[in-house]
Structure 1
Amino acid sequence: MIMADEGFLDGLHAGFAVPPAELVALITRATGTAPEQVERLKVGDENEVHRAALPGGATVFARIRKPGDGTFDSEVWAMEQARAAGVPVPRILILTGIPSEAGERSAMVVEQAAGRQLGEVLPDLDPDRRRAVMINVGRVLARIHAVATPGPRRPDAAGRWPDPTDVRNSLIMEREAQRPSLEAAELTAAEIGAALDQVRRSPDVPPRTDAVLCHGDLHGAHVFVDDELAVRGVIDWGLWHGGSRIGDLAMTSTKYPEPDFEAILTGYGITPDPEFRERLAQAVISQSIPHLAWHDSIGNAPGRAHYAEKIRTALARLRPSV
C-alpha cells in the first residue's frame, strides 16, 4: 500500500464529511440498530470511510463517495460477479444516496471482512508461512480473473462497454498527456520516451479481446486472511475494471516484494517464461503511469515516487530487448 503522510490525508479529507447525525442514520438503516461508536478512517484518497461498532460486537463500514464523484453501482456489480465466482467478498447491507450541498453522494454500508488484514499478518510470518499465504492470494486472484467481462474498462450509464480499439487509442493519448507528471517525478527524458514506447507496444493494457474482471488494487490492506492463512475477504473494489490477466498481475506486482509476487504466480498457476516477463514489465509501465499522475495531481509525493521507481525497475528489466 502506498502510504501518504498524515498531514496530506488530514488536508484531503477535511474537504468532505457527512454530518454525524446523517452518518448514524445511514448505519441504522443498514443494520437495524444504532451504532455504539463511529470512527472515521483516513485511509485513502477517494472515499470517505467510517468504521462503526454495533451492539453485540459486530463491525460495519460506511463508504461515501466524494461530492460529484459518481456512484458505487458498478463497484457493487463487480463484487457480485466476484462472489459468484467463489471470491470471499463482504456482504453489502445498503446502497443508497446521501444529500449534500454539492449534490447527492453515493453511500454503501458493508459488513466487516472475516480475519485480519494481510498487511498486518505478513511481518509476523516465517518464510514458509509467508509463501503459503501469498500462494493462497494467487489462487483467489485466479478466481477473480475467471470472470469474463463484455469489454475493457467499465460500461457507461446505459450499460454499453467501450470498443477495445477506441480504448487503446485513448489510453495511449492519455499516457502521452501525463508526461508532465513523469517529469515532475524526475524521470529523465530518455526514461519517459522509453516508457511511452512500451505503452504503445504492450498488448495487455488494455487487451483487444478476452477481457476479464480485474480488482486493480489488491494490496495488503484489501485482503483478509484467517489463522490458517486462508483468504477470507477481498475488499475495496473501487478500481475494478475489465482488463487483461497480465495487466492486473502487473499492478499486483507493484504492491508486494518480489518473493511475495512470485508466490502469487505459483498460486495462480503461472510458470513465468521470458515472454511473460516482458509483457508483465510492459504492463507495469502502462499501469504505473496513470497512478503516478494521480498521486501527482493530489500532491502525494510518496505515491508519485513509488510509481516512478516501478517504471524505472520495469525499464531496466526490458532493456536487453528494447
Structure 2
Amino acid sequence: MEEVKVVVAHAERATLRVGDVFLKVDSDQARIDVEVEAMALVPVPTPEVLWRKPPVLAIAAVSGSALGRLGEPSTASPAAWAAAGAAIRKLHDAPLPPWPGRGRGLDGLAAELDAECERLVTKGVLPADLVTRNRQVAEAALRPWAPVFIHGDLQIAHVFVDDDEVTGIIDWSEAGQGDALYDLATLTLGHEEHLGDVIAGYGSDIDIAVIRAWWSLRSLLAVRWLVEHGFDPSAPGCEIDVLRSRM
C-alpha cells in the first residue's frame, strides 16, 4: 500500500503525495483552472495532468530533485541554476496568456504594501526600523513594467533539475501576466549567492536593485500570512532573515 504524505496543508489548499501522484485539493477552482491552462501553454517542462475531479487535481511527479529549499543551502550546481534561468527566459519570451494574472496593479500593490507594513508594526510582528527600511527598498519594484508570461510563485522548491537540466516546473496556480523580475526574485529569495548563475542563464541585463526590491516586498507581504498559517518565516535563511539582510 502506498504511503500518503502531506506535502503542504493550510486553510486554502492542501497537496498530498501518493506514490508518484500528487493530489491537489483547492477551495478556489479558479486557481486550478489557471494551473491546468498554464501547464498546457508554457514552453517549459511541467507535470502531466492525470485527471481532475473538483476540488481535486491529480498530477504526475516530475523526475529529478528540487533546486533547493528556502532556509537551506542549495546543493544544485551553478550550471543547474543557470539552466533554471534559461527556462525562465523561455517562459518569459512565450506569448502572453489570455488572462491578466491574479496580481494587483501598481497602485493596488503599493496600497497593500503600506497597509501590511502598518499591521506588521502595530501588531508587533516586526520591529519598526526593519519594516521601514525594507519598505524603502521595496519602492524600486513599484515601477511600470512590460508584462510577460510569469509563473507567479516560482519558489526554489518548484523547479526540478536532473544532471543540470530542468526536468519540471510545478505549481502554476498563480501564473499570468506580470513582471519578469518578480519571477527571478522569487526563485532567488534567500539564495542571493546564486543570482549571478540565474542571470547568466537568463541572458539579459537585469536591474539588481529591482530584484532586491522584490525580495523585500515579497517578504513583507508574506510574513504575517505565514505566521497565521502555521509556517515559520523566522527560521534561518527565510523571510525575516531576508528582511534583516537589507539593514
> Same fold, TM exceeding 0.5?
yes
**For structure 2, which runs of at least 5 residues remain unmatched after alignment?**
none
Q: 1:153 to 1:234 in 2, by over 3 A?
A: same
Indicate the SS of the match to 1:302.
Answer: coil
**Deviation at 1:299?**
4.2
Question: In the aligned structure 2, how far is the partner of 1:238 from the partner of 1:251?
Answer: 15
Matched, 1:193 2:132: yes
Indicate the SS of the match to 1:174.
Answer: helix
Q: Is the 8 A contact 1:61 1:109 kept in 2?
A: yes
**Deviation at 1:181?**
4.8
Q: 1:255 to 1:212 in 2, by over 3 A?
A: farther
Q: Is the 8 A contact 2:86 2:202 kept in 1?
A: yes
Indicate the SS of the match to 2:68.
Answer: helix
Q: Is the 8 A contact 2:190 2:242 kept in 1?
A: no
Q: Tell me the matched-pair count.
A: 240
Indicate the SS of the match to 1:72.
Answer: helix
1:252 pairs with one of 181, 187, 190: 187
**Deviation at 1:225?**
2.0
2:105 pairs with one of 158, 163, 167: 167
1:110 pairs with one of 48, 54, 59: 59
**For structure 1, which runs of at least 5 residues remain unmatched after alignment?**
1-35, 54-58, 98-105, 155-161, 317-322
Matched, 1:308 2:235: no
Question: In the aligned structure 2, how far is the partner of 1:177 from the partner of 1:311?
Answer: 17
1:80 pairs with one of 40, 52, 69: 40
Q: 1:139 to 1:44 in 2, by over 3 A?
A: farther
Matched, 1:223 2:154: no
Q: 1:131 to 1:79 in 2, by over 3 A?
A: same
Q: Is the 8 A contact 1:295 1:304 kept in 2?
A: no
CA deviation map 1:140-192 (0-9, x unaligned): 111122233467533xxxxxxx8xxx72211111112212553334232x332
Counterpart residue identity of residue 131, structure 1:
P
Counterpart residue identity of residue 93, structure 1:
L
Match of 1:153 in 2: 101
CA deviation map 1:268-300 (0-9, x unaligned): 11355xxx1222222222222211232133243
Match of 1:19 in 2: none
Matched, 1:50 2:16: yes
Q: More relative contact order in 1 or in 2 (CA 8 Å, sep 6+)?
A: 2
Question: In the aligned structure 1, how far is the partner of 2:114 from the partner of 2:73?
Answer: 39
Question: In the aligned structure 2, how far is the partner of 1:297 from the partner of 1:181?
Answer: 13
RMSD, aligned α-carbons: 3.0
2:25 pairs with one of 64, 71, 75: 64
Counting aligned pairs with the same residue, the percent is 24
Structure 1 window deviating more from structure 2 (300-309 vs 263-272): it is 300-309
**Deviation at 1:264?**
0.9
Match of 1:40 in 2: 5
Match of 1:158 in 2: none
Q: Is the 8 A contact 1:95 1:108 kept in 2?
A: yes
Q: Is the 8 A contact 2:38 2:172 kept in 1?
A: yes
Question: In the aligned structure 1, how far is the partner of 2:148 from the partner of 2:37?
Answer: 14
Counterpart residue identity of residue 209, structure 2:
E
Q: 1:261 to 1:124 in 2, by over 3 A?
A: closer
Match of 1:13 in 2: none
Q: Is the 8 A contact 1:118 1:225 kept in 2?
A: yes
Counterpart residue identity of residue 81, structure 1:
L
Counterpart residue identity of residue 39, structure 1:
V
Q: Which has the larger radius of gyration?
A: 1
Q: 1:144 to 1:69 in 2, by over 3 A?
A: same
Q: 1:201 to 1:222 in 2, by over 3 A?
A: closer
Question: In the aligned structure 2, how far is the partner of 1:285 from the partner of 1:150?
Answer: 29
Q: 1:304 to 1:297 in 2, by over 3 A?
A: farther
Counterpart residue identity of residue 200, structure 2:
T
Question: In the aligned structure 2, how far is the partner of 1:47 from the partner of 1:303?
Answer: 23
Q: Is the 8 A contact 1:38 1:50 kept in 2?
A: no
